[in-house]
Amino acid sequence: MELFLKSLTLPGLTIPGNLLLAPLAGYSDAAFRSICTQWGSNLCYTEMVSAQGIIRNNAKTLELLRRADNETLFAVQIFASDPQSAASAVRMLGVHRPDLFDLNCGCSVPKVLKSGCGAALLREPERIRTILRAMGGETDRPITVKLRSGWDQNSINFLQTAEAAQRGGAAMLCLHPRTRTQGFSGQAQMSHLKTLKSYSAVPVIGSGDLFTPEATRSMFRASGCDGVMFARGALGNPFIFRATWELLSGKRQSPPPTPKERLETALQQLRLTVTFKGEQRGCKDMRKHFCYYSKGIPGAAELRAQAVRAESVEDYQNLVERFL
């Protein structure tokens, strides 16, 4: 039998498995991470956190650092454009006791790029090295990096950025094998992931187009990567962690969650979100998640149309009860 499931060993840290949740801006808050952990994610990254926001003690930034009760490991992703701010942020984050840090080198949001952060760093591999080196000088926790294949099709340089990251002390690399200009269009290039794995001296995590357990198995087979990181494929579908574990471990596969199970899980996440953010804001933030949870359920279009106007936990509960 093919063996894909394993623990990930980093300096001073062992991650018990290799099915991870990606940092998802606007989505991977403490409530969603808690649900994904419950369904089998071995490690969940926070939403990307601004180094400048940490330094300025920005309340909205610090809110992203809330930790779920069932998170035995806590991974914080930051975005920064220079070594000084990255180092200061890591030093200040010590009070939150992260188990590892991640440097975002893949975000293609214009506002992030304009500040010289995220995927903008792909054009300057040496800056990635110096930022990581500065971060490492402020913590004994491992530091990981999330990369893309390159800025555009004319600058595919993931081997150069990965090499710079390792010289900077990166303990693990995650590659989303698309360019910055691709965003999420086209197909993830498994050949890039396979090439990186063959050259890398540290564990390599693959991301991109992982919407089913079968797609995850295909990524493992095609690239030989050490683990996978679910992103869009986990939205409204935290069940993908259990389903993937069952497929890859050769266990009898559980039936797909019923509409009732999916919507009840959405309500569970809603209640957690309200615990962290209060009812008014929590219900508003949950609207997008609820639309993902109900996607694909026959006859749920009207449910989604009403959910985007829900303003209380009772509103959501009544919607689900009526639908079911």
Structure confidence by residue, pLDDT tens digits, 81-124: 999 999 999 999 999 999 999 999 998 888 898 889 999 999 99
Domain with residue 176: its CATH number is: 3.20.20.70
The sign of the dihedral angle between the CA atoms of 302, 261, 289, 149 is negative
**Cα 38–chain centre separation:** 16
Q: In CATH, what number is assigned to the domain containing residue 280?
A: 1.10.1200.80
Which residues are CB-contacts of 110 (< 8 A; sequence separation ≥ 6)?
none
Residues 302 and 174 in one domain: no
In the chain, pLDDT over 90 holds for what percent of residues? Answer: 85
71 and 97 in a common domain:
yes
Total count of domains within the chain: 2
Determine how many CB atoms are found less than 10 A away from the CB of residue 190: 18
Mean pLDDT score, 223-250: 97
The tens digit of pLDDT for each residue in 53-84 reads 999 999 999 999 999 999 999 999 999 999 99
Asked whether residue 254 is domain-assigned, the answer is: no
Residues 94, 125, single domain; the answer is: yes
Encoding tokens for residue 285? 């933030």
* The two structure tokens encoding residue 84: 């000084």
- Please list the residues that pair with 230 across neighbouring strands: 21
pTM (2 d.p.): 0.95
Distance from C-alpha of 290 to C-alpha of 61, rounded to nearest angstrom? 24
Residues whose CB falls within 8 Å of the CB of residue 132, separated by 6 or more in sequence, listed in order: 103, 143, 145, 165, 168, 169, 170
Predicted local confidence at residue 85, as pLDDT: 97
| 162-213 pLDDT, tens digit each | 999 999 999 999 999 988 777 677 787 899 999 999 999 999 999 999 999 9
Whether the pLDDT of residue 1 is over 70: the answer is no
Residue 177 placed within a domain: yes
- Please, how many CA atoms are within 13 Å of residue 110, restricted to the half-sphere of its CB? 0
Q: How far is CA 242 from CA 7, 34, 69, 133, 195, in A?
A: 16, 14, 20, 36, 29
Write out the catalytic residue numbers.
107
Task: Quote the DSSP letter at residue 21.
Answer: E
Domain ranges, residue 309: 259-323
